[in-house]
């Protein structure tokens, strides 16, 4: 069953260029069908999950590729499988303006399977395997337009990701050597007897592995690939570079911290301090770069950088509450950011405008898109009543609760970042809705909202942003259960 949900997208993807579709809509139906079917399977799996591990293959020794559904996988898989069908729907409409969409959908759909692979991985090796695979299958997506810019971006993406994985690999080795098992067990698997007096070395390796996985989560100074990768078509930037790929990085770090090294081992050490400082710096850095950026998608990408570090900030607090905050932001940020990215994509699709200063007065021409963009902006800022507030609340709450002075400073970083977020997001909104006195809307007379395929996903996301904002209790409770190992 688990292997099914990984393979179905793989097969569906490979079939796209092979099957002779007579009309475009047939292909759309086929793909959307496959993706929805897969999502249904995933949800079925999550709701009826069993504790057992599915062993696919043996590598050397006791290293194996195996899958299991636990709390974290439920969160991540549930998130991904919820977003993918909507993003695919959006992609159909968006890709009408791009070339060779077969290749695009091939890799786009495969990525779904690979991401689920990461989510369901039962041990560090399996996760590492799918993690590398994820890099490889997403490179063609970044390269998609094949312009010089895209090539450079994909090159950079590859170098960074593979390089990061190389250092994460060292962490993997440490767990193999000093752990009792490579399986994910909440609380960590390190064997104190084997460690002996090598604590400091292990901490160093943890920091290295953190930074390694952190490359995908765009931790400073390894974040410059993400804004560049924005040259990819918007469905990719939105789903992969705001959710699947970058969240895999964060997910991997959570796995590494909570399920492999274990918080008992790391808490209060210099390693924790180091990574926390890095993360805090990234939070502020990402926002300030976003402020300077005038390309909409790149601005959002920098915003993603900062928000990813929110997640990591929660993770490195290293308490169950911190993990809850991290998971909450992982899920909520996904919805918020994909929504704002899709808005940016809709703008690009409808008007070919991609710089902030070109958006003057657009708000009245595309009220739905900009209305939704405004809501997601407010949510990202953390206005109460929207999803972002809840996740920040949980993060800050965890930081306060941890009694760690550095985490207090982290709260300050969160708030500075919130302010900067307000500036860079709202300046777009202000431009769109308040273009100024002598604004002439002649050149954009014919601009209008996109069709339902683009709007439907946006609306669904907005509904969720508001829903999570006003009634988050059940889902946050669930996240807390995950963080404390109930699932």
Partner 1 sequence: MDFICNFPFFSILLSLFSGTICSILPGKAAKIVNRVVIITVGILSGILLVYLLDSGESFVYWMGHFPAPWGNEIRAGVLEAGMALFFCIIMYLSMAGGAHKLFDEVEESKHNLYYILINLLLSSLLALVYTNDMFTAYVFVEINTISACGLIMIRQVGRTIEAAVRYMIMSLLGSGLLLFGLCIMYDLTGHLLMSNIKESVSLLIQNGEYQIPLIVSIALMCVGLCIKSALFPFHAWLPDAYGYSTVSSAAILSSLVSKGYIFLLIKIIYRVIGFDIFNSTRIIDVLFVFGLMGMIFGSLSAIKEGDIRRMIAFSSVAQIGYIYMGFGMGTQAGMVASVFHILSHAATKSLLFIAAIGLTEVSGGSRKFIDLTGAGYRNKWAGVAFTAGSLSMVGVPLFSGFISKLLFAQAAVQVEGKMLAALIVLGISTVLNAIYFMKTVIRIYTAAGDTPYPCITFKDMKVHAVVLILFVILNVLLGVSSQPIVNMIEQGLAMFA
Partner 2 sequence: MYLILLPILFPILAGFCLLAYRKDPGRKLLTITTGICLVITGALVVVALMGTKQGLTLFHLTKKLPIYFNIDKISVIFSLLTVIVFLCAGFFSFVYMKHEQKEKRYYGYYLMAFGVLNALCFAGNLITFYLFFELLTLSSFPLVLHTGSKEAVMAGLKYLFYSLCGAYASLFGIYFLYHNCETLTFTAGGVLQISPASREGSFFLLIAFVMILGFGVKAGMFPMHAWLPTAHPAAPAPASAVLSAVIVKAGVLALIRVIYFIFGTGFLQGSWVQTAWLTLTLVTIFMGSMLAYREPVLKKRLAYSTVSQLYYILFGLAVMNEEAFTGSLLHVLAHGFIKSTLFLTAGAIIYTTGKTRVDELRGIGKKMPFTMWCYTIVSLGLIGIPPTGGFVSKWYLAMGGLTGDIGIFRYLGAAVLLVSALLTAGYLLPLTIQGFFPGADYDDTACRKQEPARLMTIPILCLTILSVLVGLFPNIITNYLTDFVSTLL
Cα separation, 455 vs 289, in Å, equals 29
> Which residues in the 260-289 window bind partner 2 by CB under 8 A?
none
> Which residues in the 399-438 window bind partner 1 by CB under 8 A?
none
Query: Counting contacts by CB under 8 A, is residue 98 touching partner 2?
Result: no
Q: Helix/strand/coil (H, E, C) string of 43-112? A: HHHHHCCCCCCEEEEECCCCCEEEECCCHHHHHHHHHHHHHHHHHHHHHHHHHHHCCCHHHHHHHHHHHH
Report the interhelical angle of 148-178 vs 124-142 (nearest 10°): 180
SS3 125: helix
The residues that bridge with 190 in the sheet, in sequence order, are 179
Q: Which does 268 bind (CB under 5 to 8 A by kind): partner 2, partner 1, none?
A: none
Among residues 15, 41, 176, 467, the one that binds partner 1 under rule CB under 8 A? 176
What DSSP string runs through 208-261? Answer: HHHHHHHHHTT-TTS-THHHHGGGS-HHIIIIIIIIIHHHHHHHHHHIIIIIII
Q: Which does 486 bind (CB under 5 to 8 A by kind): partner 2, partner 1, none?
A: none
Q: Which does 385 bind (CB under 5 to 8 A by kind): partner 1, partner 2, none?
A: partner 2
Query: Counting contacts by CB under 8 A, is residue 133 touching partner 1?
Result: yes
From residue 176, alpha-carbon distances to 63, 184, 189, 455 in Å are 8, 12, 10, 48
Query: Counting contacts by CB under 8 A, is residue 223 touching partner 1?
Result: no
Whole-number minimum distance, CB 446 to partner 2, in Å? Answer: 17
Token couple for 42: 């995933």
Binding part of the chain for partner 1, among 89-97, 124-132, 247-255, 287-295 by CB under 8 A, reads 124-132
Question: How many CA atoms within 13 Å lie on the side-chain side of 269?
Answer: 20
Binding part of the chain for partner 2, among 106-114, 135-143, 347-355, 465-473 by CB under 8 A, reads 465-473
From residue 377, alpha-carbon distances to 227, 234, 329, 372, 474 in Å are 18, 18, 15, 8, 24
The residues that bridge with 123 in the sheet, in sequence order, are 183
Query: Counting contacts by CB under 8 A, is residue 154 touching partner 1?
Result: yes
Query: Counting contacts by CB under 8 A, is residue 128 touching partner 1?
Result: yes
Among residues 74, 110, 137, 143, the one that binds partner 1 under rule CB under 8 A? 143
> Which residues in the 383-442 window bind partner 2 by CB under 8 A?
383-385, 389-390, 393-394, 396-397, 399-401, 411-412, 415-416, 418-419, 422-423, 426-427, 430, 433-437, 439
Cα separation, 467 vs 332, in Å, equals 11
How many binding residues for partner 1 (CB under 8 A)?
38
Whole-number minimum distance, CB 392 to partner 2, in Å? Answer: 8
Query: Counting contacts by CB under 8 A, is residue 195 touching partner 1?
Result: no
Residues forming contacts to partner 2 in the complex (CB under 8 A) are 367, 378, 381-385, 389-390, 393-394, 396-397, 399-401, 411-412, 415-416, 418-419, 422-423, 426-427, 430, 433-437, 439, 469-473, 476
Residues forming contacts to partner 1 in the complex (CB under 8 A) are 57-61, 63, 125, 128-129, 132-133, 136, 139-140, 143, 146, 151, 154-155, 158-159, 162-163, 165-167, 169-170, 173-174, 176-178, 201, 204-205, 208, 212
């Amino acid at each position: 069953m688990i292997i099914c949900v990984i393979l179905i997208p793989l097969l569906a993807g490979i079939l796209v260029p092979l099957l002779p579709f007579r009309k475009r809509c047939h292909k759309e139906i086929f793909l959307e069908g496959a993706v929805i079917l897969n999502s249904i399977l995933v949800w079925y799996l999550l709701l009826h999950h069993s504790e057992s591990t599915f062993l696919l293959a043996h590598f050397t020794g006791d290293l194996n590729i195996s899958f299991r559904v636990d709390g974290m996988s439920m969160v991540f898989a549930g998130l991904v499988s919820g977003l993918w069908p909507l993003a695919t729907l959006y992609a159909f409409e968006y890709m009408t303006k791009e070339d060779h969409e077969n290749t695009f959908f091939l890799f786009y759909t495969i990525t779904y399977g690979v991401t689920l692979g990461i989510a369901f991985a039962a041990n560090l090796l399996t996760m590492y395997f799918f993690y590398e695979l994820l890099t490889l299958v997403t490179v063609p997506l970044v390269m998609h337009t094949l312009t010089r810019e895209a090539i450079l971006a994909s090159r950079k993406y590859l170098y960074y990701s593979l390089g990061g994985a190389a250092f994460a690999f060292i962490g993997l080795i440490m767990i193999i050597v000093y752990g009792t098992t490579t399986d994910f067990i909440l609380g960590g698997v390190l064997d104190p007897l084997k460690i002996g007096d090598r604590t400091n070395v292990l901490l160093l390796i943890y920091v290295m592995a953190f930074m390694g996985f952190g490359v995908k989560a765009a931790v400073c100074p390894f974040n410059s690939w993400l804004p560049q990768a924005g040259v990819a078509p918007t469905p990719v930037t939105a789903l992969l570079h705001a959710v699947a790929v970058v969240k895999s990085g964060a997910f991997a770090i959570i796995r590494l911290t909570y399920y492999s090294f274990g918080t008992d081992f790391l808490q209060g050490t210099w390693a924790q301090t180091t990574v926390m400082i890095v993360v805090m710096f990234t939070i502020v850095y990402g926002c300030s770069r976003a402020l300077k950026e005038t390309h909409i998608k790149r601005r959002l990408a920098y915003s993603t950088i900062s928000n990813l570090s929110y997640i990591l900030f929660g993770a490195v607090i290293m308490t169950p509450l911190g993990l809850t905050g991290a998971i909450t932001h992982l899920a909520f940020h996904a919805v918020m950011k994909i929504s704002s990215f899709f808005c940016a994509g809709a703008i690009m699709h409808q008007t070919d405008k991609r710089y902030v200063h070109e958006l003057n007065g657009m708000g009245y021409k595309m009220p739905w898109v900009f209305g939704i963009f405004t809501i997601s902006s407010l949510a990202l800022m953390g206005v109460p009543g929207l999803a972002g507030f809840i996740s920040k609340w949980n993060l800050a709450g965890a930081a306060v609760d941890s009694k760690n002075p550095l985490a207090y400073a982290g709260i300050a970083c969160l708030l500075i970042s919130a302010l900067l977020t307000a500036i860079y997001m709202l300046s777009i909104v202000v431009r769109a809705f308040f273009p100024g006195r002598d604004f002439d809307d002649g050149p954009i007379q014919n601009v209008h909202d996109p069709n339902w395929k683009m709007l439907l996903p946006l609306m669904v996301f907005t509904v969720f942003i508001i829903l999570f904002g006003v009634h988050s209790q059940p889902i946050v409770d669930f996240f807390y259960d995950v963080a404390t190992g109930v699932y």
